[in-house]
């Protein structure tokens, strides 16, 4: 890690204590390691959020592109669901 930039950050006392405990507990060699891992986790979380947002946008567009809404017959849906359930039951 020869190409590093040092920066200063401010943490709440609880956060600073958690970082120190992570190092003292032997899980990390330095406070910097703790912070770097936290940043990698944050980056991963941001990437996942972005992918989820892209998927939501894609699905919304798919819905818009599918045309105008059509009325939904709840009773017909229930009737078909019951028919399928009974057919499946009789196959067992």
Q: Where are the domains of the chain?
A: 13-91
Query: What pLDDT does residue 90 have?
Result: 85
**Does residue 2 surpass a pLDDT of 80?**
no
Count CB-CB contacts under 10 A for residue 36: 14
**Does residue 67 surpass a pLDDT of 90?**
yes
pLDDT in tens, 6-44: 999 999 999 999 999 999 999 999 999 999 999 999 999
* CA gap 16, 91 in Å, rounded: 63
* CA gap 47, 55 in Å, rounded: 12
Whether the model clears a pTM of 0.85, i.e. scores above it, the answer is no
* CA gap 55, 61 in Å, rounded: 10
* CA gap 90, 79 in Å, rounded: 17
Look at the chain and count its residues. Answer: 92
And the tokens for 91? 């196959």
Taking a C-beta distance cutoff of 8 angstroms, is the pair 44, 52 a contact?
no
Can you tell me which residue has the tokens 């057919």? 87
**Does residue 1 surpass a pLDDT of 70?**
no
């Amino acid at each position: 890690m020869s190409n590093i930039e040092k920066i200063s950050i401010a943490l709440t006392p609880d956060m600073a204590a958690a970082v120190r405990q992570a190092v003292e507990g032997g899980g990390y060699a330095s406070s910097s390691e703790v912070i770097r891992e936290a940043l990698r986790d944050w980056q991963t979380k941001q990437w996942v959020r972005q992918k989820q947002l892209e998927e939501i946008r894609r699905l919304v567009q798919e819905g818009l592109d599918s045309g105008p809404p059509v009325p939904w017959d709840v009773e017909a849906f229930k009737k078909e669901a019951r028919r399928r359930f009974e057919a499946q039951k009789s196959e067992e």
